[in-house]
Every structure is written in C-alpha cells, then in structure tokens.
Structure 1
C-alpha cells in the first residue's frame, strides 16, 4: 500500500464524486476531530493548510523541550506521550488515539516526548496556521478551548483515580475509557485492540507490569473480560467493570 507524501494535503483520497469539497470533509475521523465544526468553504480553507504525515512504529514525533511548530490530529494508529522527570524517571502521561488532537498547549515547547506506538497517520497543521484559522473561524477556536478543557478534566480524573483506586479498579477504569473512545469512533466497544504494551499501561497508571498482568487475570477470573490475545481485551460485563469504580 502506498502512502501520501509527507506534505500531501490529504490522508485519504476523496471519493470521485466529492465535488468541490476537499479530502478534509471525507476524513475518516472528522466527526471526532476539532475540525468537525467547520463546513463548506471553511473546510476548503482547512484543506489548503493541512498536511499528512505517516510515522513508522517507534518513530519519535517530538521531544520534550523542542519548539512546538505543529499540531496534529491522529487519523489512524496511536501515539504515546511520555514525560521524563528531572531524575530520569519515565511517566506515560497519556495516549492519543484516532480523532485526538495533539500539541494544543500554551507553552512554546513540547511538554512530552511524542512517540508512535505503531504505524500512525497524522493530519498536520503549523501552529501559526491553526491560530489564523481560529481567528478566522471563532467556532473552531471555541472547539479548541473545549478540547483543552476536556483534557484538563481528564488529567484531573486521572489524578483522582491514582489517589483513590485500587490497582484492579485502575485497570477497569482504563479499559472502560478505551472502550468509550473506541465506541465514539464507530468501532465495537466490547472488543479492544490495545495499541500499547502492558509496560506503557503500567507507567500510565502508576503500577508495575506484573501488577497489570495480575489485575487483568483477576478481571478475567471474575468473568468481566476475556484475553484472547496479548494485545486484545474482550469486555464481557460492562456493568461489572463500572461497579468497580469507587466514585
């Protein structure tokens, strides 16, 4: 399969009958992305500024402390956001999945290392270009603010989870969050294809790899999940997983 060149204006070719609208209107994750608020001529303006980027597994998109020149929407695959402490300790701050917007920040430099977990497609915009679009289309600016607030709420929820949940509860909550995001993308929520290894899940949730494996086994023994493959989880009992949340 051939991929578009680095600076191609699209990620997926539009249908032959797409008319005057460009490929952004036909993007497979447009309904999840911040650009979903745009239509018609606004989408054409977006097309003119968009570029495609395809990352091989393990590629480092940006390093913590590097100047922040671009923002990205993940259209396929997944990214890992990693922060290193002053002492060199690794912390997986989060994961960016299809539809997620990456690089939204008030800082001039990247706050995390951003790495591709597998082959990953991105829709890329220059920071200044996105700022101009936000000024031109206030509803896009509002959507960006909404996304920033959602990320802040999610970070607070994660801190609360780490403070009050047992390891098994953390794993259950993590799986439910993945399932919810997968459902929004139109994929079956009950069958999770994990893009990240268990070591990343452990670093993200403040656990050890052994604890992650033990908790998954516990959930399987209780009949809440099945583990047909190392990178796949089948959720058998959503209500049972939700009941583990102490909130």
Structure 2
C-alpha cells in the first residue's frame, strides 16, 4: 500500500485517492492490519501463506468512474477489493446498460469462464484493489489449497446472488425490488462496520440503482418518496437511508 495514502475506516470511502498501478505489491506489512482481511479471499491464509500470495500481487487503484476491466477484454487478472465500491455491468444489443451487481471491500472479481471478461467493472467511488495475474493465482490454488477453497466458497455465494438478482428482476414489483435492495445494502453496510444495522449506505447514484433493478430513474425516485412518506425510511442526503421499520420493509420485499 502506498504509505502516503492514509488508511480508510471500514464503510468509508476516500474522495482524493490517486490512480496508482505499481509493478509489485507494496502493502505486505499492511495485510496484517487490513480492515477487510476477515471477509476477503485471503482470510483463510496464515501469515506465511499471505506472504506467498503477495509475491504475485500488485496495487491497482482507480478513481471514480474509471474502468478496472472492460467487457470483451482478455481476462488476465483477478481483483480483490480493499476499499471502495465497484459496479459490474453489461451492454445490451440496443445500447442500454444493465448493472448486474455492486461489489464492496472484501469482494473479488475477474474469474471468467472463457478468456475474456463478460462484464465491465467500473469504480463507483475511489477504489483500492490487490490485482493478481489470472494464470499465476490459478497456480497458487494448487500451492495454497485453503485459498482455492475460499475462492470456491465466495464464488458459490456470488452464484446465489445472481439467482436472487434474476428473481428480483423477473418477479418482483418496483416497491418489492427497492425494499429488497435496501435490506441488502443495510446488510452490506453493517458488515463493513461503522454504522448501525438500520443504516443503508448507498454510494451509487439513483441511475445506478435503476439500472440494477431494471426500473426507470423516475420509478426509483417515486418509490423512495413513497417509502419515506409512509414512515418506513428516512433519507439523509443522496447516499444514506435509515430503515425506520425494518420488519415492515422485509414484508414488503417478500410481497406480503
């Protein structure tokens, strides 16, 4: 890690992060105190194994709206997020964008079934990642079996999230979709720490939320307003939502 960049508390994001891409990892000693080590793919490794993993790692950081990898490009790297938020998206044949997911500190991306990326990964906020050459980290799976098992477990969770997203887009109403999303974001916010359980931090724009839920921006804004007027949520600026009645929001998300 660049020593000139101060460590960010969990759940918070820097606005002044410089774009850095080094030829080798410089954050070896920082790994031990990494704020997302407990949820990242390297949490199954001991100190010696982390040092072995660091041999193939480099810092790869991007500022807001910058691309980390693009749909159709050769899938040469795997990325582990240390700080910030990343959105994954695909372009439809008619030019529309479909956001397929948001990734947060501790998440990884870059595994591909073929030799090209099937999505574009873009920084929603300034992002810090550890980047690994795909071929070399695949070799490390044999050397570090705990790492391979951890990545497999995280990939299984990702597949479950993809199935949940299919249900969200295919069967739920606009209100059900937004309630489901707010509950999901509240869980993510709580997992990163720094906020109470009824707090949902939304670093993405309303347009991003709309493209993720398969709705228009107007519909998303209208549903936010209705939930607030019903006393179920309180909006605190553009990026913070307080869930005032989590149980009622859960019932709405389930169509009850």
TM-score by length of 1: 0.90
**Alpha-carbon distance between aligned partners in 2 of 1:40 and 1:213, rounded to the nearest angstrom:** 47
Q: Which range is displaced more, 1-10 or 31-40?
A: 1-10
Whole-Å Cα distance in 2 between the matches of residues 246 and 232 of structure 1?
Answer: 23
**4+ residue segments displaced more than 3 Å:** 1-5
Residues of 1 paired with 2:32 and 2:141: CA distance?
Answer: 18
Q: Give the superposition deviation at 1:151.
A: 1.0
How many angstroms does 1:10 deviate by?
Answer: 4.0
Asked if the contact 2:198–2:242 (Cα under 8 Å) also holds between the matched residues in 1, the reply is: yes
Show CA shifts across 1:25-51 (max 9, x none): 221111111111001311111222221
Q: Which runs of 5+ in 2 are unaligned?
A: 6-17
Residue 67 of structure 1 aligns with which residue? Answer: 74
Indicate the SS of the match to 1:243.
helix
Q: Does the CA contact (< 8 Å) of 2:98 and 2:211 recur in 1?
A: yes
Trace 1:1-247 onto structure 2 (pairs within 5 A): 2-3=4-5, 5-7=20-22, 9-11=25-27, 22-188=29-195, 189-246=197-254
TM-score, with length taken from structure 2: 0.87
1:107-131 Cα shifts (integer Å, max 9, x gaps) = 2111111111121111111111211
- Say if 2:97 and 2:211, in contact at 8 Å, map to a contact too: yes
Structure 1 residue aligned with 2:15: none
Give 3-state SS (helix, strand or coil) of 1:244's partner: helix
Aligned counterparts of 1:71 and 1:186: Cα–Cα separation in 2: 25
Q: Could you say what the CA RMSD is over the residues aligned between the two structures, in angstroms?
A: 1.8
Aligned residues: 238
